[in-house]
Amino acid sequence: MIHIIDLHFQGVKNAIAAFLVETTAGPVLIETGPHSTFTPLKKGIESKGFSLSDIKHVFLSHIHFDHAGAAWAFAELGAKIYVHPSGAPHLHDPSRLLSSAKRIYQDKMDILWGAIKPIDLEQMQITEHGSNFQIGDQSFTAWHTPGHAIHHIAWQMGDVVFTGDVGGVSIEKGVVIPPCPPPDINIEDWIESIRLLRALKPGALYLTHFGKVENISQHLDALEKCLWDWANWMRPYAESDASIAEVSPKFQQYVGKQLMNYGIGEEGIRQYETANPSWMSVAGLIRYWKKKAKV
């Protein structure tokens, strides 16, 4: 059984999810969310009849704070943290992650993400592409899916795939958009990862932002279309050396119009912006085009 736990990030519903999977060997947690939402996560786990200490296995899609920020708290309780090889060093020593995030979020770090602590290496399980882990009656396979981040994993359990961010953002079955923060956005890699998701022929996708998707082909088509749309919209600004500060309000307006055109109202736009701030994609996509120009 899969339980979707709404973490109510920043007091907004359906922005960030964690997934509690029941197995015969006890509960498995997929994604932890940030430590700032640890209380809603704890309540969600307890509402299903489990305690935090019952969780011995935590599977992360990647190490961005909105997905993995509370992983250290489960490691301190004895859980094994399953992570991409490129992500593990940053969980062990999060100083570079913190330094980079502080430049972006400044005095909002604590309220957004909460505490960040290092995880001992012995508490981490490095997961290679295609590696499989049997937990009770459930089998979990790690598929390396770069594009959003080089350290990204989509986790397959039977005919279900937990997509992290590579599966995009779709709130309350609304429009599908791609989260494109710096520094690792790579459109070509992301398209290949989408092809991998298609090849798995899943019966359902579980999005961290947010929830269960069953119209797989339509969803991935929409994600791919929007990914190229946003990238191509940003390209002239990257080539003109426009500043991020100059481009951000223009892009926010562009995204807002797209959402409204799909019937997303004011509250829905707030949910999308909380889950995936459009201004973050400006820096990510401009960086992507500048990298390509240097090749």
Q: Extract the tokens encoding 216.
A: 């797989």
Question: Is pLDDT of 195 > 70?
Answer: yes
DSSP the chain: -EEEEE--GGG-TTSSEEEEEEETTEEEEE----GGGHHHHHHHHHHTT--GGG--EEE-S--SHHHHTTHHHHHHTT-EEEE-TTTHHHHHSTHHHHHHHHHHHGGGHHHHH-------GGGEEE--TT-EEEETTEEEEEEE--SS-TT-EEEEETTEEEEETTT-B-STT---B----SS---HHHHHHHHHHHHHT--SEEEETTTEEE--HHHHHHHHHHHHHHHHHHHHHHHHTT--HHHHHHHHHHHHHHHHHHTT--HHHHHHHHHHS-HHHHHHHHHHHHHHHHH-
| pLDDT tens per residue, range 99-156 | 877 777 777 887 889 899 999 999 999 999 999 999 999 999 999 999 999 999 999 9
Average pLDDT over residues 168-174: 94
Beta-sheet strand order (sheet of 132-135): 132-135, 138-144, 153-157, 160-164, 204-207, 211-213
The DSSP bridge partners found for residue 157 are 160
Q: In whole numbers, what is the pLDDT of the chain averaged over residues? A: 95
Distance from C-alpha of 252 to C-alpha of 230, rounded to nearest angstrom: 11
Q: What is the pLDDT of residue 158?
A: 97
Q: What is the pLDDT of residue 106?
A: 74
Q: What is the pLDDT of residue 104?
A: 73
Nearby residues of 51 by Cβ (< 8 Å), 6 or more positions away: 45
| pLDDT tens per residue, range 202-233 | 999 999 999 999 999 999 999 999 999 999 99
Ordered structural domains, the chain, with CATH = 2-227 (3.60.15.10)
Q: What is the pLDDT of residue 100?
A: 76
| pLDDT tens per residue, range 233-260 | 999 999 998 899 999 999 999 999 999 9
Q: What is the pLDDT of residue 177?
A: 97
| Span of 31-45, 91-105, 113-127 with lowest mean pLDDT | 91-105
Distance from C-alpha of 270 to C-alpha of 279, rounded to nearest angstrom: 13
Q: What is the pLDDT of residue 102?
A: 78
Q: What is the pLDDT of residue 181?
A: 93
- In a 13 Å sphere around the CA of 220, the CA atoms on its Cβ side amount to 23
| Span of 33-37, 110-114, 169-173, 254-258 with lowest mean pLDDT | 110-114
Q: What is the pLDDT of residue 294?
A: 80
Q: What is the pLDDT of residue 295?
A: 61
| Span of 96-100, 101-105, 163-167 with lowest mean pLDDT | 101-105
Percent with pLDDT over 90 in the chain: 89
Average pLDDT over residues 66-84: 97
